[in-house]
Structure 1
Amino acid sequence: MKSISTFFYTIGQGFRNLTRNRWYTLASIATMTACLFLLGMFYSIVANFQNIVKTAEEGVSITVFFNEGTSEDEMTALASQLEKRTEVSKVDYVSAEDAWNSFKDEYLGEYADGFTENPLEDSSNLQIYMKDVSMQPQLVTYIESINIVREVRRSEVTASTLSGMNRFIALVSVCIIAVLLAVSIFLISNTVTIGIAVRKDEIEIAKYIGATDYFVRAPFVIEGVIIGLVGSMIPLALVFYLYTKVVAYVGVHYSLLENILVFLPVQNVFDNLVPLSVGIGVGIGFIGSFVTVHHHLKV
């Protein structure tokens, strides 16, 4: 019973510390909000850049043509086989008739009536779409080794360009996020540390009158966790508001860019951003409080 009452007492003290030290609380929350807001905005931008590149990659296909006399069953069997490969996202079978109808509609129009036979009789093919275009060379090598395949058409320039962009964005984003994380951790932990250090007399008095380390430390740790939680939720709310407004604004005023600027749904962004921000805020609040109080417990 005593342990339960002590637990609730320490929680109450943690909340009281927030109001007793208003300026420290506000400074800590403001520092966390600023740092995590910048981190959240940059993460949203990077996530959308990566999505744009990925969307472009999904539109890049490899076209496989077959030797004369290859049956439709053999082609569809190969399509099923290729769909099982890890680098392949989708395989579409295009018959000679479908290829001719598509060609007519796109290039000939009414002039196609003069053709009595299909000039693309041997043009049945497979359109192969990939999960990652950087894997295109190994997939092409495999397909070219199959005896029923006559030709494999691919865009090496497009694939290499998209792969290069992917690597560049990944490298730049990792570097910048690492810098922002380091700055955030440094500023937030320093603010928490200073705020607790100025109350070392309070900690020492509690120790002199016989308080246990747990009894002294717990309210400060709870205070740090609460500050971390509040300081991470505010920037998440701000980023959420700005993100939805920007997406809506671009959709209304720049509708011509819809096929280029394919924004991620806000839920997709926040599925990763929420645990990242809360983890940083609460983690730094807890560790900063725990470590700082620990230094002042040795009296």
Structure 2
Amino acid sequence: MNTRTANYCLKQGFVNIKRNKLFSLASIGTIAACIFLIGVIFTIIINVNFMEKKVEQQVGVTIFFNEGLSQQGIDDIGKTIKSDSRVKSYEYTSAEEAWEGFKKNYFKDNPDLAEGFSKENPLANSASYTVYLKSINDQKAFATAMEKVQGVRQVKYSNPTREFLTNFGKMLGYASIALIIILLGVGIFLISNTVMIGISVRRHEIKIMKLIGATNSFVRAPFIIEGVTIGLLGSIIPLVIIRLVYDRLIDLIMTKFGVLGNSIPFASVHQIFLVLVPLGLGIGAGIGLIGSIVSMRKHLKV
């Protein structure tokens, strides 16, 4: 297909959209709603995964020792931790360091209250290893294994946090699949009807083109361009809206929820749109292409 033919097909595709304004707008609106829903769900899922990764980095498994355990016993436990392939890093906290940290957190406004414990460390048996794993999903198995190690008194880990993030992501994904399928189906149906109207309007013109030797691809190209263009327009609109709203929403959360908002990690716009833009445009163009093909197979006999 040469440049002149391509320009003609492109022009006719836009003419078809303009000619069928009502159906075109309905198709664009439906696709926009579909892509917007996909974009919102995708953004939430990305942030849930991002939070889960941050939890992996920030929340560790804490291992406490039996009372009176010797330094050699503590070192042996450290060697066991180091040899585990699931471990990313670990650090040792002595009883003295645990008490100093406790005082900073709970007695920072009333340091005089801590003076009553100056002769005796109330956290004398709180020395521990804090272990950070490569995957948060390994916490339970790692904790179970460490509980069997000689000299280990207790193992604490954030299993509820992991389960909440994992289950929330799964629930969101399952609940959204049905809605997305319905909207995709409606989008394809509307685009196929829009293209069908264009075929009906140009039926006489198509017959003439076929009589003078027009190829099947030449006849079909404007309708494919029409469907794909509608799909792309329907996907660009929600992508722009999500892009404008995302930063403002994050700022609002940070402002309104204070410390809680600052403690929740959010994925950056770049991380989200690096995948969301090609995904959204691809789905929009795909819906348009499928709708065009469905309509041409049913109504365009060339």
* TM-score bucket of the superposed structures, by smaller chain: 0.7 to 0.9
Secondary structure, aligned partner of 1:264: coil
8 Å CA contact 2:62, 2:156 repeated in 1:
yes
* Counterparts of 2:143 and 2:78, CA distance in 1: 18
Greater shift, 280-289 or 263-272, is seen at: 263-272
Alpha-carbon displacement from aligned partner over 1:137-183 (angstroms, at most 9, x marks no partner) = 31123334545x4334225xx51x33442343233212222122212
* Counterparts of 1:141 and 1:287, CA distance in 2: 52
The equivalent residue for 1:129 is 132
Alpha-carbon displacement from aligned partner over 1:241-286 (angstroms, at most 9, x marks no partner) = 2222222223233324324654433333333432332221111111
* Counterparts of 1:28 and 1:150, CA distance in 2: 64
Amino acid at match of 1:246: L
Note if 1:217 corresponds to 2:220.
Answer: yes
* Counterparts of 2:248 and 2:102, CA distance in 1: 42
The equivalent residue for 1:252 is 255
Note if 1:242 corresponds to 2:241.
Answer: no
Shift of 1:214: 0.7
TM-score, with normalisation over the residues of structure 2?
0.78
Amino acid at match of 1:239: I
* Counterparts of 1:113 and 1:163, CA distance in 2: 38
Note if 1:151 corresponds to 2:156.
Answer: no
The equivalent residue for 1:68 is 70
8 Å CA contact 1:50, 1:169 repeated in 2:
no
The equivalent residue for 2:188 is 189
The equivalent residue for 1:110 is 115
Amino acid at match of 1:109: A
Shift of 1:112: 4.1
The equivalent residue for 2:11 is 12
TM-score, with normalisation over the residues of structure 1?
0.79
The equivalent residue for 1:81 is 83
8 Å CA contact 1:14, 1:222 repeated in 2:
yes
* Counterparts of 1:272 and 1:239, CA distance in 2: 13
Alpha-carbon displacement from aligned partner over 1:42-74 (angstroms, at most 9, x marks no partner) = 443454455556655655432224542427765
Give the total of aligned pairs. 289
8 Å CA contact 1:57, 1:162 repeated in 2:
no
* Counterparts of 2:102 and 2:259, CA distance in 1: 27
Note if 1:177 corresponds to 2:182.
Answer: no
* Counterparts of 1:223 and 1:46, CA distance in 2: 32
8 Å CA contact 1:52, 1:260 repeated in 2:
no
Amino acid at match of 1:135: D
Amino acid at match of 2:16: N
Greater shift, 100-109 or 30-39, is seen at: 100-109
Note if 1:271 corresponds to 2:270.
Answer: no
* Counterparts of 2:90 and 2:57, CA distance in 1: 12
Unmatched 5+ stretches in structure 1: none
The equivalent residue for 2:32 is 33
* Counterparts of 1:71 and 1:192, CA distance in 2: 71
The equivalent residue for 2:161 is 162
* Counterparts of 1:216 and 1:257, CA distance in 2: 59
* Counterparts of 1:253 and 1:63, CA distance in 2: 33
Secondary structure, aligned partner of 1:92: strand
Amino acid at match of 2:115: E
8 Å CA contact 2:192, 2:292 repeated in 1:
yes
Q: Equivalent residues in 2 for 1:45-64 (5 A)? A: 45-48=44-47, 51=50, 55=54, 60-64=59-63
Shift of 1:94: 2.0
* Counterparts of 1:199 and 1:13, CA distance in 2: 10
Alpha-carbon displacement from aligned partner over 1:63-121 (angstroms, at most 9, x marks no partner) = 22454242776565445434x41xx4542222444234334545662234335xx7877
Note if 1:229 corresponds to 2:232.
Answer: yes
8 Å CA contact 2:188, 2:287 repeated in 1:
yes
8 Å CA contact 1:95, 1:124 repeated in 2:
yes
